[in-house]
Amino acid sequence: DADVTQTPRNRITKTGKRIMLECSQTKGHDRMYWYRQDPGLGLRLIYYSFDVKDINKGEISDGYSVSRQAQAKFSLSLESAIPNQTALYFCATSARTGPQHFGDGTRLSIL
């Protein structure tokens, strides 16, 4: 089983819909992150959480919200999806020091 699991893996939806992407991890890490990847831009940090009560905005948080339901679960929501939020979304986890470990990504298309 994957250490960092993202669901769904793919999602196509319409403009204006509310979308939730979920992430769960079995690595026991306190820190969790959400990124989006656009072609030619690399990954950009949306939100990060260092524990259940700690949520922080990243570089591009507008239009997104997150919820840290438990140490192992971190969900990303798009309250009213728009086409320019079409992207590949990654969840990642890390210990206090060391590398981030990524899930396999969620490919989101907003029509």
Partner 1 sequence: AQKITQTQPGMFVQEKEAVTLDCTYDTSDQSYGLFWYKQPSSGEMIFLIYQGSYDEQNATEGRYSLNFQKARKSANLVISASQLGDSAMYFCAMWLNNNDMRFGAGTRLTVKP
The residue ranges that bind partner 1 (CB under 8 A) are 33, 35, 40-45, 48, 50, 56, 58-59, 88, 90, 92, 98-105, 107
Q: How far is CA 87 from CA 29, 65, 94, 105, in A?
A: 26, 16, 23, 10
Instruction: Please report how close the Cβ of residue 99 comes to partner 1 at its closest, in angstroms.
Output: 4
Do 16 and 32 contact (CB within 8 A), yes or no? no
Instruction: Please report how close the Cβ of residue 16 comes to partner 1 at its closest, in angstroms.
Output: 27
Instruction: Please report how close the Cβ of residue 43 comes to partner 1 at its closest, in angstroms.
Output: 4
Q: How many CA atoms are closer than 13 Å to the CA of 62, on its beta-carbon side?
A: 2
The C-alpha atoms of residue 72 and residue 62 are separated, in whole angstroms, by 24
